[in-house]
Chains A and B, each alone.
Chain A
Amino acid sequence: MICPACDHDNISGADSCAKCQMDLRALDLPQGATALEESLIHETLSSLDPKTAVMVEPDSSVRDAVTTMVDNNIGCVLVGRGRAVIGIFSERDVLVKFAGRMTEAGDEPVRRYMTPNPEMLESSTALAFGLNRMSLGDFRHLPITKQGRFEGILSLRDFLGLLFRWYPDLDDADGGV
């Protein structure tokens, strides 16, 4: 483990350089084998450019929330006030919770059908960590905060889009269906 400041060869895993006391802990992070892994480690979720999300009030009707999704051509809305998010309401919730009985449920408040307290990540979070949460948490949408305040939303498609940012011509050979 070579100290970047004085080139002293320290034993592997040392917290600081034996010669100059330089902090070496950052050298112990997983080292990306490829440029792509480097990007996953060192770039943050803000580089995926979180979309502006549409928010509805907790007392909005389910019908209004659905209309908001349709009009904005989006798959989910956040439920909350100002920058405080208390839930997320998605196409999935529509399908699972009342698709067969919209006439009765339409006037009820959306807070009754939302998924409460969605997991959110800071925009300064590493891409790799966001990818991990999307994969393990089985999420489709990930609300993003900046210094604790709600900022935007990322979808699975944004993470797939990483590949095309790295390799814009990845699928050039595709001749169509």
Chain B
Amino acid sequence: MDFRPYLQQEPVRSVGYRPTVSVGSEATIGQAIELMQARRVGCLLILDAEDGLLGIFTERDVLRKVVAADATLGLEDRVGAAMTPAPVTVRTDEALAVLFGRMFRGGFRHIPAMSPEGRLLGTVSIKRVVSFLADQFPETVYNLPPDPERFGSAREGA
């Protein structure tokens, strides 16, 4: 079995996504952080008044733009000023290979998932992707001792 055709045909929806956790761009950074803490998520999607996707606000944005020593934004500022605008997205009918490529090459941990019609559905995380990969090889991944080459190299007592 060659894994590649499978990855190039299977749609993103088979990996799944987490339903959207979002705030409006007018919310404060402090409110956004509280929501991330309460919902235990590493990123928020930032929406406009018509629920369209404006940007993504991640742990990394918190670290670099809010907490860092040279950060210019504070908890009272608008989250819209701290988000990463126009994030790379993926449609659930696109191939897994497309999702994996955008995630790996872009260095993203989260990618917003859109319906084939362009409606925002949620986010796919790299954690979910790596668990999906592990699940493709259950016999190999879940039954293997840590150091397989060690076995069989010497007879017990020899």
The answer to whether B97 and A128 touch across the interface, beta carbons within 8 angstroms, is: no
> Does A25 sit at the interface, judged by CB under 8 A?
yes
What does DSSP make chain B's interface, helix, strand, loop or mixed?
Answer: helix
| Complex: A92 Cα to B33 Cα, angstroms | 12
> Does A37 sit at the interface, judged by CB under 8 A?
yes
> When each residue 72-111 of chain B gets 1 if its CB lies under 8 Å from chain A and 0 otherwise, what string results?
0001000000000000111000010110111111010100
| Chain B: interface residue total (CB-CB under 8 A) | 61
B2 CB to nearest A CB, Å: 7
The answer to whether A170 and B146 touch across the interface, beta carbons within 8 angstroms, is: no
| Chain A: interface residue total (CB-CB under 8 A) | 59
A64 CB to nearest B CB, Å: 9
Given contact pairs A16-B155, A129-B144, A167 touches B103 in the complex (Cβ within 8 A): no
From A16, A67, A122, A131, residue with most partner B Cβ within 10 Å: A131
> Does B36 sit at the interface, judged by CB under 8 A?
yes
Out of B75, B100, B147, which one reaches A171, CB within 8 Å? B100
Mark out the residues of chain B between 4 and 57 whose CB falls within 8 Å of any chain A CB in the assembled complex.
Answer: 4, 7-8, 30, 33-34, 36-37, 42
- Specify which chain A residues have a CB less than 8 angstroms from the CB of B97 in the assembled complex: 170-171, 173-174
- Specify which chain B residues have a CB less than 8 angstroms from the CB of A16 in the assembled complex: 155
Out of B30, B63, B103, B141, which one reaches A160, CB within 8 Å? B103
- Nearest chain A residue, comparing its CB with the CB of B139: A30
Interface set of B (CB-CB < 8 Å, partner A): 1-4, 7-8, 30, 33-34, 36-37, 42, 59-60, 62-64, 66-69, 75, 88-90, 95, 97-98, 100-105, 107, 109, 126-127, 129-131, 133-135, 137, 139-149, 151-155
Listed A/B pairs (17) with beta-carbon separation below 8 Å: A27-B152, A29-B144, A30-B140, A40-B141, A63-B69, A67-B68, A91-B42, A95-B37, A122-B147, A128-B141, A129-B145, A140-B127, A156-B109, A159-B133, A170-B8, A174-B98, A177-B102
Since A99-B33, A99-B66, A131-B133 are in contact, a sample of 4 more A-B pairs with Cβ atoms closer than 8 Å, ordered by chain A residue number, is A75-B59, A126-B145, A126-B146, A157-B104
